[in-house]
Structure 1
Amino acid sequence: MLTVERLTKRYGKKTVVEHISFSVKQGDILGFLGPNGAGKSTTMNMLAGYLGADEGSILIDGTDMMEAPLAAKKKIGYLPEKPPLYPEMTVKEYLCFVFRIKGLKGAREECIKEACCLAHIEDVSGRLIRNLSKGYQQRVGLAQALLGSPPLLILDEPTAGLDPKQIIEIRELIADLGKKTTILLSSHILSEIQAVCSRVLVMDHGRILADGSTESITGSGNKLRVAVKGNFQDARAALESLPGVLVRDAYTESEPGVFEFMLEHERGADIRTALFEALAQHRMPIYALREGDRSLEEVFLALTQGENDGGAQ
Structure 2
Amino acid sequence: MINIEGLTKLYGSKIAVEDVSFEVKKGEVLGFLGPNGAGKTTTMKIITSFMPPTSGRVTVMNYDTMKDSMRSRRCIGYLPENTPLYKDMRVKTFLQFVAGVKGVNRAQMKSSIRKVISEFGLESVENAVIGRLSKGFRQRVGLAQALVNDPPVLILDEPTLGLDPRQIHDIRQLIKDLSGSRTIILSSHILPEVSQLCDRVAIINKGRIVAIDSTQSLKSRLQDHADITVKVGDKLDTAVTIIERLVGVLSVSISNSSILNIKTIKDRDLRPVMAQMIVSAGIPLLEIVRKDMSLEDIFMELVTEEPRADA
- Please give the TM-score of this superposition, normalised by the length of structure 2: 0.88
Which residue in 2 is equivalent to 1:169?
170
CA offsets per residue over residues 39-69 of structure 1, 9 Å max, x none? 1111111111111111111121222212211
Structure 2 distance, partners of 1:99, 1:207, is 36
Shift of 1:251: 3.2
What SS class does the counterpart of residue 308 from structure 1 fall into? coil
Q: Among residues 208, 228, 240, which one is paired with 1:225 in the alignment?
A: 228
Contact residue 75 and residue 150 of structure 1 kept, 8 A? yes
Partner in structure 2 of residue 127 of structure 1 = 128
- The alignment's C-alpha RMSD in Å is 2.3
SS at match of 1:252: strand
Contact map agreement 1:230 1:258 (CA 8 A) in 2: no
- Mapped contact 1:18–1:207 kept (Cα < 8 A): yes
Q: State the alpha-carbon separation in 2 of the partners of residues 292 and 3 from structure 1.
A: 36
Q: Equivalent residue for 1:140?
A: 141
Match of 1:67 in 2: 67
Q: Distance in 2 between matches of 1:48 and 1:154?
A: 8
Deviation per residue, 1:140-191 (Å, 9 max, x gap): 0110101121111001111222223222221221122114211111122223
In the other structure, the counterpart of 1:26 is 26
Larger RCO: 1 or 2 (CA < 8 Å, sep 6+) = 2
| SS of residue in 1 equivalent to 2:88 | coil
Offset at 1:272?
Answer: 4.5
Q: Name the counterpart of 1:8.
A: 8
> CA offsets per residue over residues 11-34 of structure 1, 9 Å max, x none?
001011111111111121111111
Q: Percent identity?
A: 40
Q: Does 1:303 align with 2:306?
A: no
What's 2:256 paired with? Answer: 255
Q: Which sections of structure 1, spanning at least 5 residues, go unmatched?
A: 241-245
- Give the secondary structure class of the aligned counterpart of 1:107: helix
Work out whether 1:90 is the aligned partner of 2:93: no
- The 1:257/1:112 distance shift into structure 2, 3 A limit, reads closer
Aligned residues: 300
State whether residues 224 and 289 of structure 1, in contact with CA within 8 Å, keep that contact through their aligned partners in structure 2: no
Gap regions ≥5 residues in structure 2: none
Letter of the 2:56 partner, please give it: G
> What secondary structure is seen at the aligned counterpart in 1 of 2:265?
strand
Asked if residue 209 in structure 1 is aligned to residue 210 in structure 2, the reply is: yes
Native 8 Å contact 2:79 2:157 kept in 1: yes
Q: Any idea what the Cα deviations from partners look like across 1:203-236, whole Å, max 9, x if unmatched?
A: 1211112211122223479945142644223222
Q: Distance in 1 between matches of 2:207 and 2:284?
A: 49
SS in 2 for 1:188: coil
- Runs ≥4 in structure 1, deviation > 6 angstroms? none
Residue matched to 1:158:
159
- Whichever residue aligns with residue 150 of structure 1, its letter is P
